Amino acid sequence: MPQKPKSFNQTQSEWYDRLEQDGFVDIEDHTQKGRPLKRWSGISIHPLSIQRSNRPRSANGTDHLLDSIAHQPMLSGIVSSWPDSHLSRASEFMNHPEFPECYQRISKHGNNAVTGEMAKTIWGLYATGNSSRVIEGLTGIDHVTAFRVIKRLTEWMNLIEEWS
């Protein structure tokens, strides 16, 4: 008579026992539903995404979450462990002293359809999170042209950051 196959849970339990004997430490807690991490070192949601009506308030109606964030020292770590986003770097690049020279150089080529001011506008829209297709709709500049301007200015930005 053939042997009845083991259930998934029995097989899984046997393998976890074997792994544990070999010194394996699983980062997930397989005993809980959804297998959450045993130790978490980040944030699950952005604190301000919690609806205001659900956040605790003091007796005088003050929003504790907003107060605690507003009174934290700069770069205290709400999300400071995350690397700077590319778009924040792009926005900072607009204030760099060499940015005007960079966007003017794009239009130096005689056959270029983009002027320096157009390149500056494209970069400004890109730095605020717009895609090259959205930029095309807003400015009338072809999305491929906008992409090329963004690519060239990104190269300049990275080069300047590397040498700074």
- Mean pLDDT over all residues of the chain? 75
Tokens of 84: 């700077």
The angle formed by the CA atoms of residues 99, 102 and 104, to the nearest 5 degrees, is: 110
Range of the domain at 14: 7-38
Judge whether 95 lies within some domain.
Answer: yes
Closest CA to 65 of 54, 75, 73: 54
The angle formed by the CA atoms of residues 139, 142 and 90, to the nearest 5 degrees, is: 65
Q: Does residue 152 share a domain with residue 94?
A: yes
Of residues 113 and 148, more confidence is placed in 148
Q: Name the β-bridge partners of 63.
A: 57
For residues 146 and 128, give the distance between their C-alpha atoms in angstroms, rounded to a whole number.
14
The angle formed by the CA atoms of residues 52, 58 and 61, to the nearest 5 degrees, is: 60
Which pLDDT band, with edges at 50, 70 and 90, does 9 fall under? confident
Q: pLDDT value at position 41?
A: 52
Judge whether 33 lies within some domain.
Answer: yes
Task: Find the mean pLDDT for residues 6-23.
Answer: 87
Number of domain units in the chain = 2
Judge whether 52 lies within some domain.
Answer: no
Of residues 32 and 98, more confidence is placed in 98
Judge whether 71 lies within some domain.
Answer: no
Q: pLDDT value at position 65?
A: 45
Judge whether 145 lies within some domain.
Answer: yes
For residues 81 and 92, give the distance between their C-alpha atoms in angstroms, rounded to a whole number.
19
Q: Name the β-bridge partners of 145.
A: none
For residues 138 and 140, give the distance between their C-alpha atoms in angstroms, rounded to a whole number.
6
Q: pLDDT value at position 113?
A: 79
> pLDDT, tens digit, for every residue of 52-68?
445 455 555 554 444 44
Judge whether 80 lies within some domain.
Answer: no
Of residues 141 and 35, more confidence is placed in 141
**Residue 145 CB partners (closer than 8 Å, separation 6+):** 113, 114
Q: Name the β-bridge partners of 28.
A: 37
> pLDDT, tens digit, for every residue of 106-147?
877 666 778 889 999 999 999 988 988 899 999 998 889 999
Q: pLDDT value at position 29?
A: 79
Of residues 49 and 162, more confidence is placed in 162
Q: pLDDT value at position 26?
A: 80
Judge whether 44 lies within some domain.
Answer: no
Judge whether 58 lies within some domain.
Answer: no
Percentage of the chain lying above the pLDDT 70 cut: 69
